[in-house]
Amino acid sequence: MTDERLVLIADLLELKADGQYGLHAINQRQHALQSAWLAERQGCPPALIAASLMHDIGHLVHDLGEDPAARGVDDQHEDLGTAFLAKWFGPEVTEPVRLHVAAKRYLCATEADYFGRLSPDSVRSLALQGGPMSAAEVAAFRALPQAAAAVQLRRFDEDAKVKDLATPPVSHFMPYVAACIAPA
């Protein structure tokens, strides 16, 4: 891997993702790998696999420490991650990343049992992120071109919190990232 952009992304996931993922007994890297692995196992396109791997990269590029939601802070990691990735990736990668928090709000508003499946830290962050969407917000979200991909990514995100789950390493998923990155 000689593309410096790919090296930077891999290094963030390998070297800076050891922090605990919310209240779960996994770290940021394990969460990213589990998300990407779920997308790969479902046969998703490379862009959604790459987005699943990098959806929380905003947590790795800011300096707010671990679990800012516990301190009542919405770190807006989806916006930070999108800003970081938008230099190199198109909307097929960046929009699901940007919208994965909105997708949680959407699912809480549209699926009666979704809120009950959220982990305690997802419930806490949901309150900081605006709570379930209103009917008008639901309609606006559904109209977005990448809404379905964001919902799919959100489902992977919720399921990617399993302690000691064996997954392929970061290097396994980097070809998906490489397939989606803009030419240098």
CATH number at residue 21: 1.10.3210.10
Q: How many domains does the chain have?
A: 1
Quickly list H helices, the chain.
Answer: 4-15, 28-41, 46-54, 57-61, 77-85, 91-110, 114-117, 120-128, 135-142, 147-159, 170-180
The amino acid that residue 137 corresponds to is: E
| Model confidence, pTM | 0.90
Q: What is the mean pLDDT of the chain?
A: 89
**Chain segment 138-168, per-residue pLDDT in tens:** 999 999 999 999 999 999 999 998 999 999 9
Host domain of residue 152: 4-180
